[in-house]
């Protein structure tokens, strides 16, 4: 059985300000930020979640960690049914589910020292004495490759790489089993990025962590994830094991995404595969394939709802032509 | 073919409370008409300061302390401010890193392009309005008439960057400086912006200097590449040669430090961090991160050695024989 299981996850946001103009007998307009997403992650593995801005990947992250309450669907992590928990049981369950955010500076309280920031989850979730907490902070900082003399420093005194390490240390302080990484390397410089990628991989192996790795950087996803889910406009368009997805992308959106990645070798020229226009507003959703207004392969059948299909073992595609 | 822009031994310093910061140190490079020159390096390598210096827009406490800047035969550093105004924004244009914040939020994007045309090309209101819409169309903005009447906040990031490119091109510049033009954009939008720059460069015959930290962007977009580290030029080469045989240890380290989509590589982060540029001593600034460092590297700054095909490399550890094939 998989360690993390998400089924039929929906997150709809009501649109503010649209009320007085819309007709009264119509239902209030909603943005379907996440619309019926399902995925599984095996224990100790990394699932990559990719897609462009506005596809709903960060909303998925926030629902899975229950920072947002999902509109519908189930979220099971280990033996806990997160979608059903509220109050104290939810707070207790969060000890096992942690998150690392994209902007390492914004994610840290500027008025908290490194020691306080990293020990905060320990104060909330454990019964360790202050001396024990301090010992654990030292241990976890060493684990993420920081020297313990940063403990008294404040976020503005740290480099970008150090800040993200503090965020990772904070997420790992309570020894969680599942970590959601929302673009953890995007704000980092090239040389730091490589180090954080290697560190995340090493920590996963050594501590037996399970990751949901969210990124728009396909090369990093390829490096870290064993399985990949591709999202577009709140839905999953393709899902496969990493090697299979990168070798045989079947959905036009995945193909366009892969074709757009600039390869650091002038001799490798990818086949151009370009979608027209830009991502439409999630308010303007229609029936049928969400990509059809931009897809070069689109035809009349694409106005019909798409049923995801398994094209080869473990490779699922939501496209009429797959 | 002679160079459009020649940067010679250019140095920029910033006076700070902690001491003198040497942001650009003796950089020499040139850009020819019709080519795209990439400038690549980590944050703090001096890429953006170099761009400001080319526009002579380094502000106090920063100062261009030495070097020469020649553009279309003019000595930019000697030119009076009034004459420079006629070049800056007209003959040399800039596409900035943050398109949305570079646009005026209180003015429609069309009007911003119009103002530029009236200022630099002396058009009347009507002609400027028509030309502005034509410019927006040229950068492939769909429905340009409607878009011209919109404000920056009503456009997507990719659309804002297209408007910035339209503004940069409105004066038919000979040199276009693009500072991380795709950073912060989605990959597919970024790819289209780069394709647009490449096409417009070809059409207009202008030289483009493209600043980026992304080696993929360099490989797919540029003709020649300058690699910078801590304010110094490490290596300058044609894009094919650079990726086929990177000579400078820093270039080699950069190439190995990024995960790749086209092949499996063993990721190797670059050792250490970009050094502090406050009160730097003589010698190569890469020495403390370099696996090939020699005793000479600490004492003496490596000279820029010339190699075949106009290639240049600044490294004591690179053998002369290795350079001249």
Is B194 in CB contact (< 8 Å) with chain A? yes
- Would you call A263 and B260 a contact, using CB atoms and an 8 Å cutoff? yes
- Would you call A190 and B218 a contact, using CB atoms and an 8 Å cutoff? no
Residue B7: is it exposed, middle or buried by C-beta count within 10 angstroms (0-12/13-18/19+)? buried
| pLDDT tens by residue, B87-123 | 998 899 999 888 888 999 999 999 999 999 998 889 9
Which position has the token pair 């939501």? A318
Q: How far apart are CA B114 and CA B128, in angstroms?
A: 5
- Would you call A258 and B261 a contact, using CB atoms and an 8 Å cutoff? yes
Give the mean model confidence (pLDDT) for residues B16-29: 94
**In the prediction, which pLDDT does B149 show?**
96
Facing B216 at nearest CB: one of A52, A262, A278: A262
pLDDT tens, residue order, chain A (322 aa): 899 999 999 999 988 765 555 555 666 678 889 999 999 999 999 999 999 888 999 999 999 999 999 999 999 999 999 999 999 999 999 999 999 998 899 999 999 999 999 999 999 999 999 999 999 999 999 999 899 889 999 999 998 889 999 999 999 999 999 999 999 988 888 878 898 999 999 999 999 999 999 998 999 999 999 999 999 999 999 999 999 999 999 999 999 999 999 999 999 887 778 888 777 877 776 788 999 989 999 999 999 999 999 999 999 999 999 8
Is B225 in CB contact (< 8 Å) with chain A? no
Is B291 in CB contact (< 8 Å) with chain A? no
Contact B314, B323 (CB under 8 A): no
Contact B245, B308 (CB under 8 A): no
Q: How far apart are CA A48 and CA A52, in angstroms?
A: 13
Checking if the pLDDT of B21 tops 90, the result is yes
H-only helix segments in chain B: 47-54, 81-87, 99-102, 109-121, 125-138, 144-148, 157-169, 187-204, 215-221, 239-244, 249-256, 295-299, 320-323
**In the prediction, which pLDDT does A19 show?**
54
Give bridge partners of residue A236 from the DSSP assignment. A231
Q: How far apart are CA B39 and CA B30, in angstroms?
A: 11
Q: How far apart are CA A148 and CA A73, in angstroms?
A: 43
Q: Which of residues 120-179 of B touch A (CB under 8 A)?
A: 142, 156-159
Question: Domain B5-91+173-323 falls in which CATH fold?
Answer: Rossmann fold (3.40.50)
- Would you call B213 and A261 a contact, using CB atoms and an 8 Å cutoff? no
Is B270 in CB contact (< 8 Å) with chain A? yes
Coil vs helix vs strand at B63:
strand
User: Angle, nearest 10°, between helix axes A160-172 and A190-207?
Assistant: 20
The residue ranges of every structural domain in chain B are 5-91+173-323, 102-172
Facing A260 at nearest CB: one of B191, B214, B219: B191
Q: How far apart are CA B108 and CA B229, in angstroms?
A: 40
Facing A197 at nearest CB: one of B159, B187, B259: B259
- Would you call B259 and A220 a contact, using CB atoms and an 8 Å cutoff? yes
The two tokens of residue A288 are: 């049928």
**In the prediction, which pLDDT does A285 show?**
67
Q: How far apart are CA B298 and CA B300, in angstroms?
A: 6
- Would you call A191 and B273 a contact, using CB atoms and an 8 Å cutoff? yes
**In the prediction, which pLDDT does A280 show?**
81
Q: How many contacts does A have with B, using Cβ atoms within 8 A?
A: 110
H-only helix segments in chain A: 57-64, 87-93, 114-125, 130-143, 160-172, 190-207, 218-224, 242-247, 252-260
- Would you call A190 and B270 a contact, using CB atoms and an 8 Å cutoff? yes
Coil vs helix vs strand at B124:
coil
| pLDDT tens by residue, B278-306 | 988 889 999 999 999 999 999 999 999 98
The two tokens of residue A110 are: 């500027």
Of A43, A39, A15, which Cα lies nearest the Cα of A28? A15
Residues written for chain B: 325
Is cis: bond before B61, omega within 30 of 0?
yes
Give the mean model confidence (pLDDT) for residues B8-25: 95
Question: What is the arrangement of strands in the sheet containing A235-241, beginning at the earlier edge strand?
Answer: A97-100, A178-182, A210-215, A46-50, A227-232, A235-241, A315-317, A309-312
Coil vs helix vs strand at B287:
helix
DSSP string, A88-136: HHHHHHGGGEEEE-S-TTTTS-TTS-HHHHHHHHHHHH----HHHHHHH
Facing A264 at nearest CB: one of B159, B190, B216: B216
Question: What is the arrangement of strands in the sheet containing A4-14, beginning at the earlier edge strand?
Answer: A30-41, A4-14, A72-77, A80-81
Which position has the token pair 């990394």? A46
Is B267 in CB contact (< 8 Å) with chain A? yes
Confidence of residue B325 (pLDDT cuts 50, 70, 90): very low
Question: Domain A4-13+30-317 falls in which CATH fold?
Answer: Rossmann fold (3.40.50)
Q: Round the CA-based radius of gyration of chain B to a whole number and report it.
A: 20
**In the prediction, which pLDDT does B96 show?**
87
Is B40 in CB contact (< 8 Å) with chain A? no
| pLDDT tens by residue, B131-182 | 999 999 989 898 999 999 999 999 988 899 999 999 999 888 999 999 999 8
Contact B22, B280 (CB under 8 A): yes
């Amino acid at each position: 059985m998989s360690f993390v299981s998400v089924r039929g996850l929906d997150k709809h946001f009501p649109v503010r300000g649209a009320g007085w103009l819309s007709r009264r007998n119509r239902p209030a307009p909603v943005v379907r930020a996440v619309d019926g997403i399902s995925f599984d992650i095996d224990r100790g593995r990394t699932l990559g979640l990719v897609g462009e801005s506005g596809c709903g990947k960060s909303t998925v992250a926030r629902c899975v960690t229950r920072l947002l309450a999902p509109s519908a669907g189930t979220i099971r992590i280990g033996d806990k049914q997160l979608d059903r928990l509220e109050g104290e049981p939810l707070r207790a369950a969060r000890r096992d589910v942690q998150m690392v955010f994209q902007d390492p500076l914004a994610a840290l309280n500027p008025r908290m020292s490194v020691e306080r920031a990293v020990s905060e989850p320990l104060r909330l979730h454990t019964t360790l004495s202050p001396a024990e907490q301090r010992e654990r902070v030292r241990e976890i900082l060493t684990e993420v490759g920081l020297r313990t003399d940063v403990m008294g420093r404040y976020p503005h005194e740290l480099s970008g790489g150090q800040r993200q390490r503090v965020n990772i240390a904070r997420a790992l302080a309570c020894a969680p089993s599942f970590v959601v990484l929302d673009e953890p390397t995007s704000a980092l410089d090239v040389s730091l990025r490589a180090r954080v990628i290697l560190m995340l991989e090493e920590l996963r192996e050594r501590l037996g962590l399970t990751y949901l790795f969210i990124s728009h950087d396909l090369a990093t996803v390829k490096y870290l994830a064993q399985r990949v889910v591709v999202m577009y406009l709140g839905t999953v368009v393709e899902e496969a094991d990493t090697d299979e997805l990168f070798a045989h992308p079947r959905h036009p959106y995945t193909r366009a995404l892969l074709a757009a990645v600039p390869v650091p070798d002038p001799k490798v020229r990818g086949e151009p595969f370009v979608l027209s226009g830009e991502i439409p507003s999630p308010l303007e959703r229609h029936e049928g394939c969400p990509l059809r207004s931009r897809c070069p392969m689109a035809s009349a059948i694409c106005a019909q709802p798409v049923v995801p299909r398994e094209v080869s073992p473990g490779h699922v595609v939501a496209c009429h032509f797959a | 073919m002679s160079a459009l822009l020649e940067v010679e031994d250019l140095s920029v310093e910033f006076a700070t409370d902690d001491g003198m910061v040497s942001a650009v140190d003796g950089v020499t490079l040139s850009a020819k008409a019709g080519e795209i020159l990439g400038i690549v390096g980590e944050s703090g390598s001096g890429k953006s300061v170099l761009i400001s210096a080319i526009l002579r827009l380094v502000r106090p406490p920063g100062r261009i302390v030495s070097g020469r800047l020649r553009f279309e035969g003019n000595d930019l550093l000697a030119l009076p401010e009034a004459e420079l105004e006629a070049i800056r924004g007209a003959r040399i244009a800039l596409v900035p890193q943050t398109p949305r914040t570079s646009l005026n939020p209180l003015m429609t994007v069309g009007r911003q392009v119009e103002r530029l045309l009236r200022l630099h090309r002396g058009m009347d209101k009507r002609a400027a309005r028509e030309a502005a819409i034509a410019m927006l169309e040229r950068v492939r903005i769909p429905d340009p008439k409607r878009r011209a009447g919109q404000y920056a906040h009503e456009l997507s990031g990719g659309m804002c960057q297209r408007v910035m490119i339209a503004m940069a091109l409105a004066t038919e510049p000979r040199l276009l400086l693009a500072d991380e033009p795709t950073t912060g954009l989605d990959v597919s939008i970024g790819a289209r912006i780069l394709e647009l720059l490449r096409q417009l460069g070809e059409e207009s015959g202008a030289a483009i200097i493209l600043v980026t930290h992304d080696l993929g962007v360099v490989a797919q977009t540029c003709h020649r590449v300058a690699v910078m580290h801590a304010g110094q030029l490490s290596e300058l080469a044609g894009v094919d040669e650079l990726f086929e045989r990177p000579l400078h240890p820093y270039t080699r380290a950069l190439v190995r430090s990024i995960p790749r989509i086209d092949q499996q590589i063993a990721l190797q982060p670059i050792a250490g961090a970009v050094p502090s540029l406050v009160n730097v001593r003589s010698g190569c600034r890469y020495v403390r991160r370099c696996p090939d460092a020699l005793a000479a590297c600490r004492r003496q700054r490596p000279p820029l050695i010339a190699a075949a095909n106009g290639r240049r490399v600044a490294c004591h550890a690179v053998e002369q024989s290795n350079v001249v094939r």
